[in-house]
Amino acid sequence: MSKEDNRRMLLEKALKEYDFQASALLEILHKAQSIYGYLSKDLLMDIAQSLHLPPSTVFGVATFYSFFNLTKPGEHIVTGCLGTACYVKGSEQIMQAIEREFNVKRGGTTADGKLSLFVTRCIGACALSPAIIVDDEVIGKATKEVVIERIKQLLGGSNQ
């Protein structure tokens, strides 16, 4: 079975699990994002049809909540926390350093599609602030140097 069919099957399973209820739209979007990595236009159309919802409703919800990505993210994802505790401890400065070092703007992806930089508002690791998430790893009490080094390692790895 192709990768695409496999993903569609996982989505179908999620849809069934929630009994195709329109009220489970957010849950379905979460599932879809974890299966496909992001919510493409086609995918949103597909979900709208499956749940018998107007596409405008599905697009409206997907764009309202910042957790959903509507564009394809880079191979690696760095998310900086700009919650209060992290901001007070200098996460803004770390974000700026990452932007400079890798030539990427927050919310965007590098030209080669290797790295995306996102912002979150608190992941609840405030006592370890500033917190930066590199792929799935949370770096607590982060410094510019440590984070940049870690990202370089990852990027270096994916080149080989």
Partner 1 sequence: MKLADLQKIAEQEVDFQRAYKYRINVCCSSGCMPLGALKVLEAFEKAVKEFGVEKECKVARTGCPGTCSVGPVVVVEPGDYLYQNVTPEKAREIVRDHIVLGLPAKDLLYSNEQFFKKQKRLVLRNAGKIDPYRIQDYIAMGGYSALVKCLATMTPQGVIYEVMTSGLRGRGGAGFPTGQKWSLVARAHGSPKYIVANLDEGDPGVFANRTLAEADPHAILEGMAIAAFAVGAEKGYIYIRAEYPLAIQTLQRAITQARSMSLLGNNILETSFKFDVELRLGAGAFVAGEETAILASVEGRRAMPRPRPPYPANSGLWGKPTLIQNVETLANIPLIIMNGGLWFSKIGTPKCTGTKCFSLTGKVNTPGLIEVPMGITLREVIFDIGGGVQKDRKFKAVLVGGPSGGCIPETHIDQPIDYESLKNLGAIMGSGGIVVLDDQSCMVDTAKFFTEFCVDESCGKCTPCRVGLTKIKGIYDAITQGNGRMEDITVLEKTSVYIRDASLCGLGQTAPNPVLTTLRYFKDEYIQHIKDKKCPAGRCFKTKEGEQ
Q: What's the min distance (Å) between Cβ of 17 and partner 1?
A: 12
Q: What's the min distance (Å) between Cβ of 88 and partner 1?
A: 5
- State how far the Cα of 74 lies from the Cα of 106, in Å rounded to an integer: 12
Q: Within 64-93, which residues bind ligand FES (CB under 6 A)?
A: 81, 83-86
DSSP 67-101: T---S---SEEEEEE-SHHHHHTTHHHHHHHHHHH
* Sheet of 132-134, strands arranged across: 115-120, 76-81, 132-134, 137-139
Comparison of 91 and 116: residue with beta carbon closer to ligand FES:
91
- State how far the Cα of 133 lies from the Cα of 94, in Å rounded to an integer: 12
CB 39 within 8 A of CB 58: no
The yes or no reply on residue 82 touching partner 1 (CB under 8 A) is yes
The yes or no reply on residue 61 touching partner 1 (CB under 8 A) is yes
Instruction: Give the residue, chosen from 10, 26, 53, 122, that forms a contact with ligand FES under the rule CB under 6 A.
Output: 122
The yes or no reply on residue 153 touching partner 1 (CB under 8 A) is no
The yes or no reply on residue 126 touching ligand FES (CB under 6 A) is yes
Q: What's the min distance (Å) between Cβ of 143 and ligand FES?
A: 15
Task: State how far the alpha carbon of 138 is from the alpha carbons of 41, 64, 128, in Å.
Answer: 30, 26, 10
Positions that interact with ligand FES (CB under 6 A)? 81, 83-86, 122-126, 129, 131
